[in-house]
């Protein structure tokens, strides 16, 4: 179909806009648009390209009476009411292959930073503090890493780890025999993750099943103290329980790219206190949901979105 109207509500590589226009799509590019503003204009569009800030819930979908296709920049589909979209005959696509390498590299970077006190020691040196013994690191070699979720990012993270002389365990509730041809991964049940892991890394979508999957009950199932990596979704981890785990040294450290509430200007007093307690811990490394946010992934995702629009329109 030609002359279709496409609304893009977040920053994308120019190749996407240029590619659409070259094929006679009418493109509205509004990367700074607010959710309420999107709601007011979405009626006019057949295709919408979104990121995390644009929630396609029942209310938004009802406003989008001409919508045929939703394309998600990246992987997470928790911002889209998938059942309602299907009921309205709206096609939903995402592009997890576009940033899976970026997320895997970032997860590895977070882990190395945590183990080697890179953030903390860099801050100290910039403040004229030269601590060597206090910043003695930990090596990855010989550690056992449990990966929960072996899709796009989980499999790529395992690949990055394969050269570090570590044992890699992988658990995926919805897959079987996924590691048969991967010599550096051992497919296991969840009990083996609890029994053997020194480090656990989440690579799961946010669903009713994974909401607060990581809580005190989960923490206490581990045979030994361990480190946490979360580059999936913030609400997979119960922050209060994570802090308790850290305070009790059952969780030895945490490397996080996501938080339960990433809208800092909306924090309640309770959340301010909670996050202040988390941020003050030296054995916690946090980045602002940028694991999949690279120059290369921006291009890859744009190419994938372009293909999805051409295929489905």
Query: Which H/E stretch holds residue 76?
Result: none
pLDDT given at position 79: 93
Q: Quick check: 237 and 228 in contact, CB under 8 A?
A: yes
pLDDT given at position 76: 86
What b-and-e string marks burial along 181-206, b requiring 16 or more CB atoms within 10 Å of the CB?
ebeebebbeeebbbbbbbbbbbbbbb
List pLDDT tens digits, range 243-298.
999 999 999 999 999 999 999 999 999 999 999 999 999 999 999 999 999 999 99
Percent residues over pLDDT 90 in the chain: 97
Domains and CATH numbers, the chain: 5-96+295-312 (3.40.50.720), 100-286 (3.40.50.720)
Cα separation, 277 vs 254, in Å, equals: 13
pLDDT given at position 52: 87
The reported pTM is 0.93
List pLDDT tens digits, range 6-33.
999 999 999 999 999 999 999 999 999 9
How far, in Å, are 93, 267, 289 from residue 313 at the CA level? 12, 41, 31
pLDDT given at position 3: 66
- Sequence-ordered alpha helix ranges (H) in 116-235: 118-126, 152-161, 190-196, 216-219
HSE-CB at 240 with a 13 A cutoff on CA atoms is 6
List pLDDT tens digits, range 196-236.
999 999 999 999 999 999 999 999 999 999 999 999 999 99
Percent residues over pLDDT 70 in the chain: 99
Q: How many CB atoms lie within 10 A of CB 230?
A: 26
CA-wise closest residue to 20 among 42, 32, 3: 3
Average the pLDDT over 94-112 and give the result.
97
Which residues carry out catalysis? 233, 262, 289
List pLDDT tens digits, range 37-96.
999 999 999 999 999 889 999 999 999 999 999 999 998 899 999 999 999 999 999 999
């Amino acid at each position: 179909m030609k002359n279709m109207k496409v609304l893009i509500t977040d920053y994308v590589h120019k190749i996407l806009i240029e590619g659409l226009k070259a094929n006679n799509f009418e493109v509205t590019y509004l990367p700074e648009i607010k959710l309420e503003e999107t709601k007011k204009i979405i009626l006019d569009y057949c295709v919408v390209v979104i990121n995390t800030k644009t929630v396609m819930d029942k209310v938004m979908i009802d406003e989008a009476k001409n919508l045929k296709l939703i394309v998600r920049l990246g992987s997470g589909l928790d911002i889209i009411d998938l059942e309602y979209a299907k009921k309205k005959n709206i096609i939903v696509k995402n592009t997890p292959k576009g940033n899976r390498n970026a997320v895997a590299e970032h997860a590895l970077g977070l882990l190395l930073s945590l183990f080697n006190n890179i953030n903390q020691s860099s801050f100290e040196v910039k403040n004229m503090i030269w601590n060597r013994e206090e910043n003695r690191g930990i090596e990855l070699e010989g550690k056992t890493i449990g990966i929960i979720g072996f899709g796009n990012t989980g499999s790529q993270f395992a690949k990055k780890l394969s050269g570090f002389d570590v044992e890699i365990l992988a658990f995926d509730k919805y897959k079987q025999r996924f590691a048969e041809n991967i010599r550096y991964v051992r497919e296991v049940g969840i009990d083996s993750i609890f029994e053997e892991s020194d480090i656990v890394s989440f690579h799961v979508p946010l669903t009713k099943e994974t909401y607060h999957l990581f809580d005190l009950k989960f923490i206490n199932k581990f045979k030994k103290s361990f480190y946490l990596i979360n580059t999936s979704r913030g609400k997979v981890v119960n922050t209060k329980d994570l802090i308790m785990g850290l305070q009790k040294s059952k969780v030895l450290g945490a490397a996080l790219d996501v938080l339960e509430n990433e809208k800092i200007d909306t924090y309640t007093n309770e959340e301010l206190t909670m996050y202040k307690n988390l941020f003050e811990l030296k054995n916690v490394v946090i980045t602002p949901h940028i694991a999949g946010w690279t120059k290369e992934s921006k291009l890859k995702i744009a190419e994938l979105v372009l293909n999805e629009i051409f295929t489905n329109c």
